[in-house]
Amino acid sequence: MSQQLRQATLIACSATAVLGLAACGPDNANPSATAAAPAASARAASSTAPAPGPAASTAGLPDGNKLNALLLPATAMPPKFKLDPSGSQSTGDGSIPPASPSAVPADKACDMLNGTGWVNSAGIIAASFAKNNYVDEAQNMFAQELDAYRGNDAQTVMANLKKTFTACHTFTVTQDGQNFSATVTLQSLPGVGDEALQAVITSPEWTGGSTLVAARVGKVVVATYDNEQSNTGTAGVALTKTLVKNAASAH
């Protein structure tokens, strides 16, 4: 796969749009807005019924503003990486209404691994979140997201992501009518948060690859996506470990 085609596949908005969370595109007239209400309604739209009982409580959870303050700054990024305003979103001081889990079809879940909204493949709605993306001129990317969950949802997210990574060990990426075979290599990351998973996505037809890391810190899940043209995004693991330390301060 040519480098240009590889980039187009990785930064396409369709993956995050599966759960109504596309962070780019013509509908975003104000790229820098965090817009808690639209983000909340978009995520809630993927489920059908409110979750009853104590799980609906947001007591003790950090809101989007606090999570946003914990994201890594530009000074922590690799050289030449700059903030992409269109990828910055947060629930602000609001929260997303509770909703029942909504299973993501297997084929869509695998597709979502090839984009910045991949944590949504778990099918669980967060109570609050903050996210942004950093890119360079070659479209290498580091995307970071912090999601705070009600009840035991954070543990369920991690379990569901492990199932998705396993089920998508090999999957097909379609771009411009062509199919490409991708492989997911999964491993745990001991000592990172309360639990952590690393998934590396590669293909013999791609240059470089992507590293996805999900780490749980209490009720907060840290999710990062590091796409590199020259390697598999290993620098993102170190950045994620720093982000995990930040997330620990939210408790």
According to the model, what pLDDT value does residue 38 have?
A: 37
State the average pLDDT over residues 59-70. Answer: 96
Q: Which residues contact 64 (CB under 8 A, 6 or more apart)?
A: 34, 36, 90, 91, 92, 93, 94, 128, 129, 130
pLDDT tens-digit series, residues 150-193: 999 999 999 999 999 999 999 998 877 888 899 999 999 999 99
Residues across the chain: 251
Task: List strand residue ranges (DSSP E) for 60-118, in order.
Answer: 82-90
Higher confidence at residue 28 or residue 123? 123
- Helix %, strand %, coil % of the chain (to 5): 30, 25, 40
pLDDT in tens, 12-36: 333 333 333 333 322 333 333 333 3
Which residue is associated with the tokens 């890594």? Answer: 72
Q: Where are the alpha helices (DSSP H) in the chain?
A: 3-11, 14-17, 36-44, 64-70, 106-112, 153-167, 235-248
pLDDT at 231: 83
Which residue, among 59, 64, 66, has the nearest Cα to 39 in the 3D structure? Answer: 64
Indicate if the pLDDT at residue 120 is higher than 70.
yes
Distance (Å) of CA 181 to CA 118, 140, 154, 169, 198: 18, 21, 30, 10, 20
C-alpha distance across the termini of the chain, in Å = 44
pLDDT at 178: 82
14 versus 10: which is more confidently predicted? 10
Residue 99 has pLDDT above 90, yes or no: no
Q: ∠ CA(226), CA(195), CA(134), 5° rounding?
A: 20
Query: What is the rounded average pLDDT for all residues in the chain?
Result: 81
Average pLDDT of span 135-149: 95
Q: Are 147 and 221 contacting, i.e. CB atoms less than 8 angstroms apart? A: yes
Residue 142: which H helix or E strand, with range?
strand 141-148
Q: What is the pLDDT of residue 182?
A: 94
Is 40 a residue whose pLDDT tops 70?
no
CA dist 27 and 1 (Å) reads: 30
Whether residue 9 has pLDDT greater than 70? no
Listed in sequence order, the residues at least 6 apart from 160 whose beta carbon sits closer than 8 Å to its beta carbon are 121, 122, 123, 124
Question: What was the pLDDT predicted at 147?
Answer: 98
Of 61-70, 169-178, 209-218, 233-242, which range is least confident?
169-178
Predicted pLDDT of residue 30 = 31
Query: pLDDT tens-digit profile of 207-217?
Result: 888 999 999 99
Residue pair 28/87 in contact by the 8 Å Cβ criterion: no
Residue of 89, 124, 87, 90 lying closest to 104 (CA atoms): 124
Decide the pairing of beta strands 195-202 and 178-188: antiparallel
pLDDT-based confidence at 87, cuts 50/70/90? Answer: very high
